[in-house]
Structure 1
Amino acid sequence: MKLPAIKGFDEEAFNKYLKNTGLLMLGRIGSLAIKMAVSIMVANYLLAYNNGILTSAIAYTYLFASIAGLGLDQFIVKELHQFPGNRDSILGTAFLLKATAGLICIPAIFLAWTIRPLSDIPYHIILILSFAGLFQSLTVIDSYFQSEVQSKYIMQVQIVGNFISALTKVMLIMFSAKLIYFVYSFLFDTVLLSVGYFYVYHRKGRNIFNWNFNKELAIKLLHFSWPLIISGIMVSVYMKIDQLMLKEIMGQNGTAEAGAYATAVSLSEALNFVPVAIVTSLFPAILNARRDNPERYQKRLQNLYDLMAWLSLAFALFVTFAAPYIYKLFNPEFAFAAPALALHVWGSIFVFLGVASGQYLIAEGFSRLTFIRTGFGAVVNIVLNLILIPKMGMIGTAIATVIAYFCSTFLILLFKKTRKQGYMMLKSLFLITAFQKIFNR
Structure 2
Amino acid sequence: MSRIIKRLKNSRFIHNTGWLMFAQIYQMLISLVIGVITARYLGATNYGTINYAASYVSFFTIACQLGLEGIVVKEIINHRENEGIILGSSIVMRLKAGMLSVIAVCMIIWLVNPNDRTLVIVAFLQSLVLIFNAFNIIECWYQSNLQSKISTIIKCIAYTAMSCYKIFLLITGKSLVWFAFSTSFDSLIIAILFVLHYKKNCSHKLKYATDVAKDLFSQSYHLIISSLMAVIYSQMDKIMIGKMINQTHVGFYSAASTICNMWMFIPQAMTNSARPLIVQLKSKDETLYIKRLKQLNFVTFWLGIGFAIIITVLANFIIYVLYGAGYSEAEGPLMLIIWSTVFSAMSYPRSIWMICEGNQNYTKYILIWGVIVNLTLNSILIPVVGMNGAAFATIVTEFMCCMIAPLFYKSTRIYVRYLLESIVGIGIK
2:96 is the counterpart of 1:104: no
Paired with 1:228 and 1:119, the residues of 2 have a C-alpha distance of 35
Q: Which runs of 4+ in 1 moved over 6 A?
A: none
- Structure-1 residue corresponding to 2:411: 417
- Structure-1 residue corresponding to 2:378: 385
Q: Secondary structure at the match of 2:113?
A: coil
Paired with 1:49 and 1:301, the residues of 2 have a C-alpha distance of 43
Q: Secondary structure at the match of 1:366?
A: coil
- Structure-2 residue corresponding to 1:47: 43
Aligned-residue offset at 1:388: 0.6
Aligned-residue offset at 1:345: 0.3
Q: Residue type matched to 1:113 in 2?
A: I
2:61 is the counterpart of 1:68: no
Paired with 2:71 and 2:106, the residues of 1 have a C-alpha distance of 30
Instruction: Pick one of 400, 404, 408 that aligns with 2:393.
Output: 400
Change (3 A) 1:236 1:96: same
Map Cα deviations across residues 10-33 of structure 1 (whole Å, 9 max, x no partner): 45x634411111111111111111
Q: Residue type matched to 1:289 in 2?
A: L
2:367 is the counterpart of 1:374: yes
2:181 is the counterpart of 1:189: no
Aligned-residue offset at 1:159: 1.4
- Structure-2 residue corresponding to 1:307: 299
Q: Residue type matched to 1:420 in 2?
A: I
Give ranges in structure 1 of 5+ residues lacking alignment: none
- Structure-2 residue corresponding to 1:17: 13
Map Cα deviations across residues 212-267 of structure 1 (whole Å, 9 max, x no partner): 111111111011110111111111111111111101011xxx11111111000000
Q: Secondary structure at the match of 1:272?
A: helix
Paired with 2:56 and 2:197, the residues of 1 have a C-alpha distance of 31
Paired with 1:243 and 1:418, the residues of 2 have a C-alpha distance of 31
Q: Is the 8 A contact 1:235 1:378 kept in 2?
A: yes
- TM-score w.r.t. the length of structure 2 is 0.94
- Structure-2 residue corresponding to 1:238: 233
Aligned-residue offset at 1:427: 3.5
2:259 is the counterpart of 1:267: yes
2:188 is the counterpart of 1:199: no
- Structure-2 residue corresponding to 1:151: 148
- Structure-2 residue corresponding to 1:347: 340
Q: Is the 8 A contact 2:316 2:331 kept in 1?
A: yes
Paired with 1:8 and 1:339, the residues of 2 have a C-alpha distance of 34
Paired with 1:32 and 1:378, the residues of 2 have a C-alpha distance of 28
Aligned-residue offset at 1:205: 4.8
Paired with 2:378 and 2:419, the residues of 1 have a C-alpha distance of 27
Matches within 5 A, 1:315-326: 315-326=307-318
2:164 is the counterpart of 1:167: yes
Answer with 390-399 or 372-381: which moved more. Answer: 372-381
Q: Is the 8 A contact 1:242 1:385 kept in 2?
A: yes
Aligned-residue offset at 1:363: 1.0
Answer with 383-392 or 371-380: which moved more. Answer: 371-380
Q: Is the 8 A contact 1:388 1:397 kept in 2?
A: yes
Q: Is the 8 A contact 1:73 1:140 kept in 2?
A: yes
Q: Is the 8 A contact 1:48 1:334 kept in 2?
A: yes
Q: Residue type matched to 2:136 in 1?
A: T
- Structure-1 residue corresponding to 2:349: 356
Map Cα deviations across residues 267-326 of structure 1 (whole Å, 9 max, x no partner): 011112221111111011111211111111111111111011111111111101111111
Paired with 2:157 and 2:257, the residues of 1 have a C-alpha distance of 25
Q: Is the 8 A contact 1:67 1:233 kept in 2?
A: yes
Q: Secondary structure at the match of 1:266?
A: helix
Map Cα deviations across residues 92-133 of structure 1 (whole Å, 9 max, x no partner): 111111111111112222343354338755322222222221
Aligned-residue offset at 1:9: 6.7
The alignment covers a number of residue pairs equal to 426
Map Cα deviations across residues 180-206 of structure 1 (whole Å, 9 max, x no partner): 110122221221221232233244355
Q: Residue type matched to 2:13 in 1?
A: Y
Q: Is the 8 A contact 2:85 2:206 kept in 1?
A: yes
Paired with 1:427 and 1:266, the residues of 2 have a C-alpha distance of 31
- Structure-2 residue corresponding to 1:128: 125
Map Cα deviations across residues 131-173 of structure 1 (whole Å, 9 max, x no partner): 2211111112111111111010121012111111112112211
Q: Is the 8 A contact 1:63 1:240 kept in 2?
A: yes
Q: Is the 8 A contact 1:119 1:248 kept in 2?
A: no
Instruction: Pick one of 205, 217, 224 that aligns with 1:229.
Output: 224
Paired with 1:131 and 1:7, the residues of 2 have a C-alpha distance of 42
Q: Is the 8 A contact 1:102 1:133 kept in 2?
A: yes
Q: Is the 8 A contact 2:343 2:398 kept in 1?
A: yes
Q: Is the 8 A contact 2:109 2:119 kept in 1?
A: no
Q: Secondary structure at the match of 1:270?
A: helix
Tell me the percent identity: 26
Paired with 2:225 and 2:47, the residues of 1 have a C-alpha distance of 29
Aligned-residue offset at 1:402: 1.2
- Structure-2 residue corresponding to 1:213: 208
Q: Is the 8 A contact 2:110 2:120 kept in 1?
A: no
Paired with 2:366 and 2:115, the residues of 1 have a C-alpha distance of 31
Q: Secondary structure at the match of 1:177?
A: coil
Change (3 A) 1:198 1:249: same
RMSD of the alignment, in Å?
2.1
Give ranges in structure 2 of 5+ residues lacking alignment: none
Paired with 1:205 and 1:230, the residues of 2 have a C-alpha distance of 32
Q: Residue type matched to 1:304 in 2?
A: L
